[in-house]
Structure 1
Amino acid sequence: MINQPSTQVLVIGYVWPEPRSSAAGGHMMQILETFLTQGWDITFSSPAALGEHKADLSTLGIAECAIELNNSSFDDFIRELAPDIVLFDRFMMEEQFGWRVEKCCPDALRVLETSDLQSLRDARHQRFKDHVKTHPDSDDFAALFAPDLGDEFQRMADTDLAKREIAAIYRCDISLMISDLEIRLLTEQFNVPAALLHWCPLMMQPPTAAFAPFEDRAHFLSIGNFRHAPNWDAVLWMKNSLWPLIRQQLPGAQLHVYGAYTPPKATALHNPAQGFHVMNWAEDALQVMSAARICLAPLRFGAGIKGKLADAMLCGTPNVTTPIGAEAMGDEQPWPGMIEHGAQALAAAAVALYQDRERWTQAQEQGRQLLARRYDQRILGPALVQCLENCRIHLASHRRNNFTGSMLRHHAHKSTQYMSQWIEAKNRTV
């Protein structure tokens, strides 16, 4: 019997994965682990500098290789590797390396890990800034959280970022979408063919052990990478609006704010007298989450789904968040916590849930059930593999049916190629 060669996967990372720093890093590790269960050989490459909290991929049997932007050495590297699947981590990596992949390995399946739609997040950030300008004293954002998909399209359609991002989606064979709402936005408003998109949310093992009970929990927790603009805005909103309201009703309450890459502007908010503790990076995010009674996630803009809220469910920690925080994370069943629109309502919900043992315990169990219904790795992992394998089998017809993508590759890759070659030549003369 002849052994079939293992599937070769090349990942081109925007950054080296840091699963304990961001949901994007955690999602990438879940994808890699899914590939490893298939016995696939994985090489992870990136032009980025090594991060402070980078995962040690080599211990998992994943090869690591630093690559350079605008350098033809990548061509030799990928020709020798001859991958069957190339996964671009964020659309910027497809822009930089997509034409080289097509030139050197035209038969490799090209997959885009979108993480979230950055053009949607950027448009919402701009809408939030416009709202604050016109309503400087408002602390209720119900109108901000209520746009329909048509309104999202109107705000995104003329932006360069949306054109770049959606062009990359067309140029790839499959794009992994963490949010099913974003799939609807792309298919219903931008007319992206559904065959180019695959729903791949966070993939987790639903908890089976008993959670720490209400009596063993104390304090509030907020967690998230400080480099991520929605997280930083949420911290400021808590500091200036939500937390003073909570402390009025719970004078002894304590809020622990954790985040990777804590800047001086964040540590300056640390005030133990107010019960507001900026704790820097959490060595074990699940441990601190499991000790908290409530997870606060008052996000006023953003996209994708929220790793902090998935972690909260994994730890049996009810949450208080906004419609942006809960977006695309739940289903028709009750949310494992409370969702509100404004500072007063969020603070009231946080205090009520913190004190109501029965409602808190119910929310804890609802989180366990939601993870099992929607985020089970045992279901989502095989579905991802099947999607990629089916696409590989039918790759010729799949690409033929995506004429727009073929056209975009023809034109965009030429301009990107010439620009890259010009930069490389210019660098050699410096």
Structure 2
Amino acid sequence: MSNRSQAQLVSPLSQSDQVSESLQEKQLVDKGSIVLSQHSRQPKLNPALSHYNLGLALAKKGKLEEAINAYQQAIKIDSKLAKAYHNLGEILSQKEQWQEAIEAYQKAIDIDPKVSWSHNSLGNALFKLEKFQAAVKAYQDAIELNPKCSWSYNSLGDTLLRLNQWKEAVEVYQKAIELNPDFPWSYYNLGEVLAQLGKWDEAVIAYRKALKLESDLPKIYEKLGDALQQQMRLYAEEAINLYHQAIQQNHDDVELYHKALEIQPNNAELYLQLCQLLVIKNELDEAIIFYNMGLQADSAKSEISEKFDLMELGNACVKKGKLKEAIFFYQESLNNHPDNDFISWQLQNAIAIQNREFTYSLEMVEYLRLVEPQPLTLNTSERPVISIIIPVYNQIVHTYNCLRSLAETLDGSLPFEVIVMDDHSKDNTQEVLRKVSGIKSVFNEQNLGFIGSCNRGASLAKGEYLFFLNNDTVVMPNCFQELLNTFKQIPNAGLVGAKFLYPNGKLQEAGGIIWQDGSAWNYGRLDHPNKPEYCYLREVDYCSGAGIMIPTKLWREIGGFDVRYKPAYYEDTDLAFEVRKAGYKVLYQPLAKIVHFEGISSGKDVTKGVKKYQVVNHQKFIEKWQDVLKLHRPNAVEPHLERERPVQKRLLMIDACMLTPDQDSGSVTAFNLIKIFQSLNYKVTFAPDNLLYVEKYTEDLQRLGVECLYCSYVTSIQSHLEAYGSEYDVVYLARLEFTEKHIDNVRKFAPQAKIIYDTVDLHYLREEREAKLKNSFELSEKAMKTKERELALMAKADCTLVVSMMEKQMLERENPDLQNIEFFNMPRDIYGAAKGFEDRKNILFIGGFQHPPNVDAVLYFVQDVFPLIKQQVNDIKIFVIGSKAPEEILNLSSEDVIITGHVPDISEYFNNCKLSVAPLRYG
């Protein structure tokens, strides 16, 4: 409540002297002039009363000093004349001689204590001297004598107001209003008291009543406005509490947040909660807007960060592919926590993705995110196939996240054990490892170094294969399966290493090169890891020991890491050379991927700590392997050839598209041809004419050791031939259209290479048969032109492959000069029958429907032949298997004609069907 003048605080009770006069006194005042004359003419009347009446008359005329003298004369004559004292007090009050007035009122009360107005007037005088407690007593005495007088209640209320006795004042004003409902000051001051009590609803009502009765009350409009504002604030608080409860019940309702913020536009927490929700709903632009509004609403930025994980918002944006927004949230988070490496790595990753330098799928981002240690369980086995050995020294957060990746990557399908070799760590490594169940934690009583820890861990291993893994790594899904399958696929594989990636997605190592001087290259370092040259299985000089697999038997035969390199460095390179010396291959498997936080475990400065042994051990390595190193190229000479030094012959295969051997016969043939070429020691590079990367099928070839070319790293087959054509010994071209497209460039840019032209089938022969079947002159003309084209290509090629002796003989008759035609029987795996002939039934057709002759064949068989069979054998069905069936084939479907589409594994159909048909009318 603001300070107010006395006139504002107190209702106009200072005029109560007029009210306190008795009716007789009022009549005498009205006859004041008569009384004066009577007094002068009749001095023998009651002199005290005469002087009293004279005082009344003089006071009426404003002659206050003379009135005072008259009352004093009356009192002098009659010291018991109470009303003379009272009226004397009234005149003194008008002159603001409050102390003298108080004494006069008190004298009147002493003489006649039953007069309520003397008590009331005494209270007024005491109020003026701010003797509020005494005034309260005087007003209470007045009310006791005259409980129907609203003035006394108003005065008492004003006094209680000054004493901050708000609750008591409310009751007093309410009584005053009850006695006199038309007095505006009662409502006004009641509103003041209620405002002090925060009872804004009631205060608004009181102020409104006061305003209705009198519009000129002091600041009445402002006070009513203030009360309404406070009332609104109370309603707003109630509403916001209700909205908060509603949000708890329906936390994904955006409209609730907007309603709440309309009431509380400065609630930073609400803004940030809305921001989180909008991120989830993929409304990221709005999320950032409301995040910024939240920061503006609350300057305590650090407090906001404690409540809201901005890094999580960034992660959510990355998952949705919204990199710009993710970078924004990561940067905000890093601003609040500049020393947090986790946030920094996430920011780098997002920037790398945005710059198309990031190789991980967006789904992998959460998997790669480092988290603080918590209880963890690994599903290890007592009879492991793989023993994973992790040497650690401090850096427990990285160790934990390495173990977490193992828990998420490995399940019961691949039995494994994990041996963590703690090389006398000084941090809380042991404390955290105790919370990880399923692992074998071994603590070295003294620091053994990397080599010592690995060798000791290997001695404890029970698995068929050992896998050495740095603790500052995160293993990607399927890593172990790919490594293990490599040993099964390559019989003389002795050591297999993974592809190493930096946390920002750039390549760290795609196998290693050792030069003639013993120096090492991490091949592909800092390049894009998806380039074709980094993505196929190949022999290498060595693989980084941060993630390598070796058969346990071979490891023990070699004797483990050579201790001459203690404590670390060059031990992994030396091991690779020992593996080759023992007659085995060292292989790089790119489909096994590991993220490596390089430098965490040993630092990067080669002049300090364990890292200095990198220089020392270099010389030891040269001394041990100098005879082998003489066969290597000098440093940095032709690294693209040195990366695969064992390769002696190279073959480029160009076909229409990526091979899909589970969908078409042509792909099966080409796939098996690749294996044949590899068995003849050719390194095969495969180039689909469309240069498309088809995830599963491209990886199948890369897993086989085939380098696959694809955009956007290869712009065209011609550009590849221009750059590398001179390296190829053989170029294999398949199909008429694509051989025709590329054969001249092959001759131009790879003149030394032999060209093999695979017809797949004779196109012109197929077209001739189709023309005859359809009796079409136009098709016959087309077949003649195709024949000319095919014969021309055969003349350009060094060797032409056909699929039958009939085709070979036909071509030699057409052109006796063609001496390069070779019949090549399509290579196929032949599986024995699982059931006897009598135990099988039904008919099978298999073929891809992108090949038109197959469409014609099935239509012909089902419509013209199968009904004749049904007449003889009623209980029989035909299964039509093949991809890309057109609508006309799908329309054949019935109870007896089953159109299956593409079937990944057709063995069950071959095992159970009695007859396979190929009713080709042409082709």
Instruction: Give the CA deviation at 1:285.
Output: 2.6
Kindly indicate whether the alpha-carbon contact (under 8 Å) linking 1:186 and 1:192 is maintained by their aligned counterparts in 2: no
2:860 corresponds in structure 1 to 237
| Structure 1 counterpart of 2:774, from 122, 129, 134 | 129
1:164–1:229 Cα change, 3 Å: same
SS at match of 1:261: coil
**1:153-302 aligned within 5 A:** 159-194=784-819, 196-207=820-831, 209=832, 211-272=834-895, 275-302=896-923
Q: Does 1:64 align with 2:708?
A: yes
Q: What is residue 392 of structure 1 aligned with on the other side? A: none
CA-to-aligned-CA distance 1:364-386 (integer Å, 9 cap, x gap):
xxxxxxxxxxxxxxxxxxxxxxx
Pairing 1:82–2:82 present: no
The aligned amino acid for 1:262 is A
Q: CA deviation at 1:178?
A: 1.3
Q: Is the 8 A contact 2:666 2:760 kept in 1?
A: yes
**TM-aligned CA distance change 1:70 to 1:63, over 3 Å:** closer
Change (3 A) 1:189 1:233: same
Does structure 1 conserve the Cα–Cα contact (< 8 Å) formed by 2:660 and 2:697?
A: yes
Q: Work out the CA distance in 1 between the residues paired with 2:859 and 2:651.
A: 41
* Deviation beyond 6 Å, 4+ runs, structure 1: 1-4, 67-71, 155-158
Contiguous gaps of at least 5 residues in structure 1: 134-154, 303-430
Asked if 2 retains the 8 angstrom alpha-carbon contact of 1:41 and 1:62, the reply is: yes
Q: 1:62 to 1:232 in 2, by over 3 A?
A: same
Which residue of the partner structure matches residue 40 of structure 1?
Answer: 682
Once residues 802 and 795 of structure 2 are traced to their aligned partners in structure 1, the CA distance between those partners, rounded to angstroms, is: 13
Q: Is the 8 A contact 2:689 2:717 kept in 1?
A: no
Secondary structure of the residue aligned to 2:879 is: strand
Matched residues in 2 for 1:88 and 1:278: separation? 34
Query: One-letter code of the match for 2:828?
Result: M
Structure-1 residue corresponding to 2:13:
none
Question: Cα deviation per residue 1:344-397 (whole Å; 9 max; x = unaligned)?
Answer: xxxxxxxxxxxxxxxxxxxxxxxxxxxxxxxxxxxxxxxxxxxxxxxxxxxxxx
- Kept in 2, the 8 Å contact 1:20–1:53? The answer is no
What secondary structure does 2:844 align onto? Answer: strand
1:29 match: 671
Q: Which residue of 2 aligns with 1:103?
A: 748
Verify the 8 A CA contact 1:21 1:53 in the aligned structure 2.
Answer: no
TM-superposed CA distance for 1:179, in Å, is: 1.2
- Contact residue 729 and residue 753 of structure 2 kept, 8 A: yes
Match of 2:719 in 1: 73
* Identity %, equivalent residues: 24
Structure 1 residues 311-350: aligned runs within 5 Å: none
Can you list the C-alpha shifts for 1:243-266, whole angstroms capped at 9, x where unaligned? Answer: 111112222211111111122222
1:205–1:241 CA distance, 2 compared to 1 (3 A): closer
Structure 2, unmatched stretches of 5+, are: 1-627, 632-644
Question: Would the alpha carbon gap of residues 39 and 186 (structure 1) be closer, same or farther in structure 2, given more than 3 Å must change?
Answer: same
Structure showing greater radius of gyration is: 2
- Counterpart CA distance in 1 for 2:854 and 2:683 is 35
> Compared with structure 1, are the counterparts of its residues 183 and 156 closer, same or farther at alpha carbon in structure 2 (3 Å cutoff)?
farther
Post-superposition CA distance 1:144-173 (Å, at most 9, x none): xxxxxxxxxxx6897211111111111010
Preserved CA contact (<8 Å) 2:736 2:763? no
Q: Secondary structure at the match of 2:687?
A: strand
User: TM-score of the superposition, structure 2-length normalised?
Assistant: 0.28
Aligned 1:395-406 pairs, distance under 5 A? none
CA distance in 2, matches of 1:249, 1:88: 47
**What value does the CA root-mean-square deviation take over the aligned residues?**
2.7
Equivalent in the alignment of 1:115: 760
Amino acid at match of 1:252: D
With over 3 angstroms needed to count, the CA separation of the structure-2 counterparts of 1:5 and 1:250, relative to structure 1, is closer
Asked if 1 retains the 8 angstrom alpha-carbon contact of 2:768 and 2:783, the reply is no
* Partners of 2:816 and 2:782 in 1: CA distance: 12
In the alignment, what sits opposite 2:279? Answer: none
SS for the counterpart of 2:747 is: helix
